[in-house]
Structures are given as C-alpha cells and as structure tokens.
DNA sequence: GTTAGCACTCTTTAAAGGAGAGTGCTAATA
DNA sequence: TATTAGCACTCTCCTTTAAAGAGTGCTAAC
C-alpha cells in the first residue's frame, strides 16, 4: 500500500499531537482539532491502514493510537521542518557560553548545562578530547626532586596537564634533554597516533635509544594516555521526570544508571558516526534501557576533525524539530569557538 | 521525664529496625524480634512515653512508630557504635583510588564514584580547590602570538592551567618579565589571599607599577580566579531510587534538581563547618527539599588546611554507622594522598 | 510495675460497578 | 467507489464498597 498525501497529513497530526500530549489520540480528536475536511470515520479507516503499514500502534483495543518508531523515523527524515533557532534563544546560548575560550572542561560543562536548560531534556557531551588534534609541544615543569608536570599543548590551543613521577632526580639538564627528545620524537603527531604508539611496543625502542631516560618514557606515556582520554558529561538528569514516560520509577532508575555509568553510554554514542545532527530512535540505539528513548547528537570539530559529540536524550516522543535546531546551532557555535 | 536505660534500648531497636526496613514498627514486633525480656504491653507503654518525649512519631493512629529527627540525633550522638571500616572494603577503596596522585579532578571523580558505590547513597564531593594552598610558582607557556597558558603550581603539588589572551604580542622578553613580576609579587601567597587581592583594587596598583604589563594583569587575575574556583561533583544519583522514600516522583525530582543545581548545594555544604565527620539531619539542613534527608560529610585537608568535603546524601533513615565509617576512612585516605 | 485481653481505629488491598473513550463494522449516501 | 453516520462492543480508569490486617490504648488481673 502506498502512503498517500492524506495519510501523511493524518500521520503528521498524530505525531504532532502525541509529542505534545503523550496521550494516545483517536480519530474524533483529529477530525475536530486538525481541520482536514474529512470525517472521523474516514480518518478511522486511514488510521487502520496506517496501523497495518506499521506506522501506528494501539496500546490496547479501544484506545487511541500512538506513533511507532517507524513513524518517528519517517517524521524525522521527511515530515519535520528544519528550522533556525529563534534569535532570542541564540542570544541566550552566546551569552551563557561566552566568547572567551576557557579551559575546555569549562566549555563542556557549560554546554551541557545550557543544552539541558534549553531543551528540557537530559543533555550529554562526549569529548574525545584530543583525538585528532596534533601535538604542538610538550612542556615540562619541575615540581620537586622526583616529579614534574607535563603540559601538553595541541595545535588547536587545547591544553592539558598531567603529573609524572620520575625515577631519576629532576635536574635542569634532565628537563632539557627530556624536552628535546620528546618533542623531537612527537612533533606534529596526532594524539590518536600517540595513543596507538603507546599501546604498541614502539615506546620500548624509543626508551632504548635514549637510555638515560628509559625509566621515564613509560611513565610519561601512561600520563599522556590518561590526560588525553575521553570523557562524558551529563546534565539535566532531573529533566527526565518532566515526562510521564518515566513516572515508572524502575524505568527512570535504569536509564539514570545507564547515564551515570559512562562507559556504556560512551560505547553507544561512539557507535553513532556521521557529521552534523544524527537522530537515533528507540531500538536503533540497540540497548534495552534505551528502547523507549531517542538520542539526538551532533558532532563538533577542532581543526576539521571531529573531537566530540553533544546530544540530548529523551522519550521517543521527542520535540525533534526544536532539539535539532538547538543542537545544530550549539555544535556550530562551539566548533567556531574551538577553531579560534 | 528521664530517658532510662530500658527506653534507650527500645528506642535503639526501633531505629535499627526502621533503618533497615523503612516500615513503621509496632510493639509486638519489638517484643518478638529483640529479646528484651519484657512484654509487648510494657513496650507499648514505653513507646507511648517516648512519643510524648518527642523521640517517636506515629504516621497515623494504629500504625507502628517511626523515629523522629530528635531520635536520630540521639542515635548519632550517643547510641551508635563507631566502627572501623572492614578490611576488605578498605582494600576496595585503596585499589580504586590508586596510590598515584593524578590530576586532582580525577581523584575527585573517583572518590565520588567509590563513595556512592560503597554506601549505595548519592555521593558529593565539594572541592574548594586551592583555597588555603600556597602558590609556589606560576609558569607561562607561549601558545601563539597573543595567547599563553598560565600553569599554576601550589606547594601541595596541585597543578591548574588557564589560557590567557594578551593585548601585547607574546615575546621571549615579555614572558620572562611576566614570570619575574608575577612570581615576585605572588610568591608564597595563599590562593585565598590571591582571590581577595583580585577582588580588591590592589591589582590596579600592581598594574600601574609595571606599566608594560598593565593590560595583562587584570586578564591574568581573571584567569586565575576561574582556575581556582570551587567545584561540586555528585555521583550515584540513581541510588536515590533504592529507597521507598523517593518512590514519589515529585520528591525525587526536587531533590535531584537541588543536587544538579550546584550553587545551592554548595551553599548548604559550606554552612557545615567542623573537622572530621559531621552528620546533619533533616531540618538541621534548613532547606525544604532536604527536610527528609540527612547529609553526612567529612573534610579533607591539604597541608593542614581544609580544602574540601566529601559526603553522602540519603533519607534521614540512613545507615549512619556504616556511612560514618566509610567517610572517616576515605577522607583520611585522600588527605594522606594529597599531603604526599 | 508488668502483663493479658479486647474493643477500636485506620490503612491497605481486592472486588465490583459504572462512566468514558475509541474502535470496527454495517448500511446508507454522494 | 469513496465517504459518512450510527451503533454495538471492548477496554481502561475511577469510584465505591467490603474485608482483612496491624497496632494501639485502656482496663483489669497478676
């Protein structure tokens, strides 16, 4: 059966209504509320067809109908209107995030905050930190006789530091030699390559060649690998309770647990590739806790390469139009901030 | 009326039972479960007295009784046994936190995590960051022609960095002069004093005296103040739902909101002074969202001065003995880590 | 002072009985 | 042939009612 224009209109009406009310919607309501010029009986027949085609579902006989995942997918791909974010909301974002490039952590936290406040959903920010950035230079600052700080500066101006304990005493010559060797070896390498190099046996060779540093190199490697790891932030978890979907405590709990258990969440998000805004609906996320959730994410970049994603999580009945507009704007904005 | 030994025993039984079951407890249950050698009728009379004295409450006539805040206070102050944390749990903590002093953020996050996992309550870590620490040195690393990184090292080995944009071009001489001036001026100052100094008009004088740097000093000050601010971390929020007290969605939501809204939480915690472990029960916290909660916190130190508190939040019916033991141990342990 | 016995109270749970919303089907209509 | 009105039927939700259960307070006996 083909889905003709009238069916599409009815489907759109059901989705729009369900997104805003969370109530199953009946033929009579559609006939009254959305003036489509056809009677409830006709709508009833069409809805029956739509159900057969897998776009609508009935919680039980004699309840109204509810959009299926398939319907949301159709809606996201073809029905919904891509909008620009209203001017005043753009201004809120710009004001809150500021123009100054702070520490990266601070941007991430602020982004998560504003995202959850603006959308009223739970927000996520996953930052692959430096992956893809190029190392510009590593500076070493003495701390005491057997420890120092490695300050890692990337070409995109991101700075991270990590404390390293050394076996040998920290002297001026030691520092100088260290700086020379490390920067010689690692200049202009991407962090991704660096991490691979650490994981491989390569560093042993390096350690061998500079025998006076051999005890140090592995420690440095470990320090760098910690400093360049990924992170996930979540904010607005209490927003989950804005939705009747989560009035069931056990559902809310298991979702909250998933969000707090960053590892799993990270895995789910990292499976989502793609540039720009990506909408993942329900079972597409392939996780039982999230089978009734949608996740909308957008990537942001530094120096052309994706270094993270921001996103919101909520019921499949999500205000996709609005959420997409917000994510589109914020991801572009922070990409701009990072590039500078 | 005096609270004699038998009353105390009965009260203890009620509290212990209620902490573990969350059910109002009746005289018959006590008589059966706790062999006090007296009948349920006698217990009934004593409980009636205890209610009159404000230690017990009845949800309604013909329900069992429930401990009041006053009872918990008595329990915490006089009845409960201070225990050491079992050896195996100590080992879990030591293993998870590790021995190596990472970046401070990492310690904080790990502490919050282990604390919530071990207690099954929601954990908090508030870190007043560098307040109280002494500045050892500020290093400057050039980033590009008009920005640099200030790396702040304190006497306790904590390192923070902040990016600063400059009006003047960043040259070698500029950096050198900057390093000299700033370290001259700020050597051995505590971060607290530094922040005060920033807030005051003092820095203008400084800026005046080193006119070649005048445009820079205010920016540096701002950067330092951001880098040295306070932070609150929370973990294990989903643990709230372990307790029937929060099966009411609206209660759970308002508490979650409070926890996510760090500012208010910070204010509440900072009102709690005192060394070591402090138990705050219900209305003692003076916040409507938390009137049915208890908050148990412990301070940790760096170089003798308190720089933060860790704590757990849960229903007033909290496993105080256990929680106090955990907090005691962890706060001592991370103090030890920081001192090193 | 302590205990047994008993009437009384209040909540919780289950069952029963509408009310309401919405459907599917049939027959009439354009 | 597509659309519409009408109506019986189904299922949920809400309210009412009834019964069960737990615990108390009081009185009288030990």
**Which of the nucleotides in strand D have any atom less than 7 Å away from a protein CB atom?**
3-6, 9-12, 21-27
Cα–Cα dist A319/A340, whole Å = 32
How far is Cα B87 from Cα B89, in angstroms, rounded to an integer?
5
User: How far does A136 lie from chain B, in Å, by closest CA?
Assistant: 9
Q: Can you give the pLDDT of all 340 residues of chain B as single tens digits? A: 889 999 999 999 999 999 999 999 999 999 999 989 999 999 999 999 999 999 999 999 889 999 999 999 999 999 999 999 999 999 999 999 986 666 677 888 899 999 999 999 999 999 876 666 777 888 888 888 888 888 888 776 667 777 777 777 888 888 888 888 888 877 777 777 776 776 665 555 555 455 555 556 666 666 666 666 678 899 999 999 999 999 989 999 999 999 999 989 999 998 997 888 999 999 999 999 999 999 999 999 876 778 889 999 999 999 999 999 999 999 999 988 877 6
| Nucleic strand C within 7 A of Cβ A42 | no
Choose among A100, A139, A241: nearest Cβ to B253: A241
Whether the CB of A144 is below 8 Å from some CB of chain B: the reply is: yes
Q: How far apart are CA A329 and CA A96, in angstroms?
A: 14
Best CA proximity match to B214, nearest among B265, B252, B245, B174: B174
* Residue B39 to chain A, least CA–CA distance (Å): 40
CA nearest to nucleotide D12 C1': residue: A63
Contact present, B321 and B83 (Cβ < 8 Å): yes
The token duo for B206 is 């400084």
Q: Is the CB of A26 under 7 A from strand C?
A: yes
Residue-level pLDDT at A91: 96
Angle formed by the axes of helices A320-339 and A104-119, nearest 10°: 160
Q: Which tens digit of pLDDT belongs to each residue from A135-189? A: 788 888 888 788 888 888 877 666 777 777 777 788 888 888 888 888 887 777 7
- The SS3 assignment for B263 reads helix
Instruction: Find the mean pLDDT for residues A272-296.
Output: 94
Closest-CA residue to A228 (of A297, A159, A165, A181): A159
Is the CB of A63 less than 7 A from some atom of nucleic acid strand C? yes
Q: Which residues contact A329 (CB under 8 A, 6 or more apart)?
A: A84, A85, A89, A90, A93
Q: What are the pLDDT digits (tens) for A3-40?
A: 999 999 999 999 999 999 999 999 999 999 998 999 99
Residue A158 DSSP class: -
Residue B227 pLDDT: 63
| Residue whose pair of structure tokens reads 């997104």 in the numeric block | A19
Chain B residue closest in CA terms to A242: B253
Burial class (CB in 10 A: 0-12, 13-18, 19+), B20: exposed
Total length of chain B: 340
Mean pLDDT for chain A overall: 87
Q: For residues B191 and B228, what is the distance between their CA atoms, to the nearest angstrom?
A: 7
pLDDT (0 to 100) of residue B157: 67
Q: How far is the CA of A119 from the C1' of C13 (A)?
A: 41
Strand A147-154 relative to strand A159-165: parallel, antiparallel, unpaired? antiparallel
Instruction: Write down the residue that tokens 């003092």 correspond to.
Output: B202
Q: Using the 8-state DSSP alphabet, how is residue A224 labeled?
A: H
pLDDT for A174 equals 82
**Within 10 A of A263 (CB to CB), how many other CB atoms are there?**
9
Structural domains of chain B sorted by starting position, each given as residue range(s) with its CATH number in brackets: 5-79 (1.10.10.10), 87-128+230-339 (3.30.450.40), 135-227 (3.30.390.60)
Q: What pLDDT is attached to residue B215?
A: 59
Q: Which pLDDT value is given to residue A224? A: 67
φ, ψ of residue A226 to 5 degrees: the values are -65, -45
Mean pLDDT of A36-46: 96
- Which residue is associated with the tokens 């141990």? B329
Tally of CB atoms within 10 A around B286? 11
Tokens coding A70: 């398939």
CA of B319 to C1' of D26 (A): 36
Model pLDDT, residue B36: 93
Q: Going by C-beta distance under 8 Å and a sequence separation of 6 or more, which residues neighbour residue B154?
A: B130, B133, B134, B135, B136, B191
Q: For residue B193, what are its two tokens?
A: 């004093």
Tokens of B137: 């040195």
């Amino acid at each position: 059966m083909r889905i003709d224009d009238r069916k599409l209109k009815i489907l759109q009406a059901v989705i729009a209504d369900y997104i805003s009310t969370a109530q199953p919607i009946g033929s009579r309501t559609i006939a009254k509320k959305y003036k489509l010029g056809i009677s409830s009986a006709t709508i009833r027949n069409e809805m029956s067809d739509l159900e057969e085609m897998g776009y609508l579902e009935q919680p039980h006989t004699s309840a109204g109908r509810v959009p299926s995942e398939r319907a949301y997918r159709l809606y996201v791909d073809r029905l919904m209107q891509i909008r620009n974010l209203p001017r005043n909301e753009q201004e809120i974002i710009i004001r809150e995030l500021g123009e100054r490039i702070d520490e990266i952590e601070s941007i991430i936290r602020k982004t998560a905050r504003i995202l959850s406040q603006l959308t009223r959903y739970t927000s996520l920010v996953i930052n692959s930190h430096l992956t893809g950035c190029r190392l510009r230079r590593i500076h070493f600052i003495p701390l005491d006789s057997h420890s120092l700080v490695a300050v890692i500066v990337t070409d995109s101006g991101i700075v991270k530091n990590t404390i390293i304990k050394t076996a040998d005493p920290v002297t001026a010559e030691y520092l100088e030699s260290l700086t020379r060797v490390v920067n010689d070896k690692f200049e202009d390498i991407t962090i991704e390559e660096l991490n691979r190099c650490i994981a491989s046996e390569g560093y042993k060779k390096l350690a061998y060649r500079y025998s006076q540093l051999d005890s140090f190199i592995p420690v440095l490697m470990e320090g760098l690998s910690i400093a360049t790891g990924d992170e996930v932030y979540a904010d607005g978890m209490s927003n989950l309770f804005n939705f009747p979907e989560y009035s069931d405590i056990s559902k809310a709990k298991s979702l909250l647990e998933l969000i707090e258990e960053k590892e799993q969440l990270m895995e789910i998000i990292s499976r989502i590739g793609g540039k720009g805004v990506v909408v993942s609906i329900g079972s597409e996320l392939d996780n039982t806790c999230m089978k009734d959730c949608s996740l909308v994410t957008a990537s942001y970049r530094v120096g052309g390469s994706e270094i993270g994603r921001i996103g919101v999580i909520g019921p499949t009945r999500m205000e996709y139009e609005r959420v997409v507009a917000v994510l589109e704007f914020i991801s572009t904005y922070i990409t701009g901030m990072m590039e500078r």
